[in-house]
Amino acid sequence: MRYLGVDLGSSFIKGAVLDLDELALGRRERIPFPEPIAGQNTMFREYDPRQVVAATRALLEKLLQQAPDAGGVVMCSQLHGLVFTSAQGQEMSNFISWQDQRALLPLEGAAGTYFDEINRRITAQERAQLGNEPRPGLPLCFLFWLEQNHALPREPAVPAPLANYVIANLCRSKPGADLTNAFAHGALNLVTRDWHWEVIEKLGLKTVCWPEIVPQGAAVGEGDIGGRRLTFYAPVGDYQCSQAGVFLEEVEMSINISTGSAVIQLAQGLEFGDFQTRPFFDGRFLRTITHLPAGRALNVLIRLLSELAEAQGLLLRDPWDYILRQADRAGDTDLRVNPAFYFSAMGNQGEITNATEDNLTVGHLFRAAFTGMAENYVQCARRIAPTREWLRIVFSGGVALKIELLRRLICERLGKESRLAACEEDTLLGLLVLALAFSGQRASVADAMAFARKNYQPESSYGSLLPA
């Protein structure tokens, strides 16, 4: 039995043939995500949603050539974006991305920004019920900006998550959202598992046609792709999908490091605290802290070091082999780097301090940056689990899998026992897990994760990066 999996990422739309019998990722394809619409306010980040649909259709048609017997499509997507649609899935607006920062613009007649005003209207208890993620890149913030500027659609319109819009458009069906994607709007009450109507009313958004919340794994439509009628299942958030793909266990602390990063642990139930709470699968929840400085922050340092060469027309080859050799050779350094060079959970004012003539080198700079990242993970892990209830670390994401030194620095602080995700494509592997559950081959997502883990994660892969 084969299914098709699609990940609507921020840089690429990726897909794979999912072989449920062999528990394998078959043919993989990827298409660049469309470019943002040019000429807009620099605080805006919008895309033509029709281009996303066209790219997704093209990707599915390529995959179907390799798996004409595919039984259906499972999909995950970048979180925190919206497209207004009609009841038949027709777009009525651009796609507003999670990278949009319009909520940080000044609100006329108020002291501060739109984001400040939202936080003034919402109580601490309501913030916890929403998941404790006060960030300007949430659809709730976009919607408030639109309402305040009298720019909401005049006709009835559904603010659909990106993947739900794409499926509704392909299937000509009404967009709905499962809990993981509904949560990403920033307006879901985790206690009731329904929209937080009190908060919605406070922000003047009760006239918005909020999407129907559909069950996990529900079949939400059938679409004609390359002459085949394919069943589409309710798409999920890529964040949750990636943790299904690393086969996260209750005894583990998950550290995902790619462009951004997160620290994650399975919760015992619906828990609130000095962390974010996100819905997971099978009615479970995650304790987490997201949007930590990672690959994007490292790229800031790369750009700085490359600027003079590029100004003279010199294109540097991949610098990472040299960087990692020098960082390893530098050993412990007294140079300090706080990598919060942009808006993140650790602030938005990075620092390079305690620099001397001897330590201001590439090796010391990146060793200090890796150390600063490791210290961030220590702070976050202690917030998520103050009593340190984990047995090992599980690493995932391209940066974590490629930089052994960074993993070692983290393990020195959080515990020597660790393992790596089975592959770098954790979201595609997560889609394989979901296909096992959604197709009925396994009783639940947890059961599918355990079943796949036995095939992908031998006990010999659990070990220590540190000397005995």
How is 345-359 classified by DSSP, letter by letter? TTBS--EEES--TTT
**How far is Cα of residue 208 from the mean position of the Cα atoms in its chain?**
25
Instruction: Kindly give the parts of the chain with pLDDT less than 50.
Output: 460, 468
What amino acid occupies position 466? L
In whole angstroms, how far apart are CA 185 and each of 82, 96, 180, 217, 261? Answer: 8, 12, 9, 19, 20
Please tell me the predicted confidence (pLDDT) of residue 315: 86
Give the max Cα distance, the chain.
66
Tell me what pLDDT residue 454 has: 86
DSSP state of 113: B
The predicted pLDDT at position 460 comes to 47
CB 271 within 8 A of CB 246: no
CB atoms within 10 A of CB 246: 29
Q: Are 202 and 147 in contact (CB under 8 A)?
A: no
Q: Where are the domains of the chain?
A: 2-238, 248-421
The correct CATH number of 2-238 out of 3.30.420.40, 1.10.1660.10, 3.40.50.720, 3.10.150.10 is 3.30.420.40
Asked if residues 396 and 256 have their Cβ atoms less than 8 Å apart, the reply is: yes
**How high is the pLDDT of residue 468?**
47
Can 2-238 and 248-421 be said to share one CATH topology?
Answer: yes
**With contact defined as beta carbons under 8 Å apart, do 263 and 346 qualify?**
no
Residue 311, phi then psi, degrees to nearest 5: -65, -25
Q: How many CB atoms lie within 10 A of CB 467?
A: 5
Q: Is the full-model pTM beyond 0.85? A: yes
The pLDDT value given to residue 466: 59
For the beta carbon of residue 28, count every other beta carbon within 10 angstroms.
14
Which CATH code is given to the segment(s) 248-421? 3.30.420.40
Rounded Cα–Cα distance for residues 76 and 162 (Å): 10
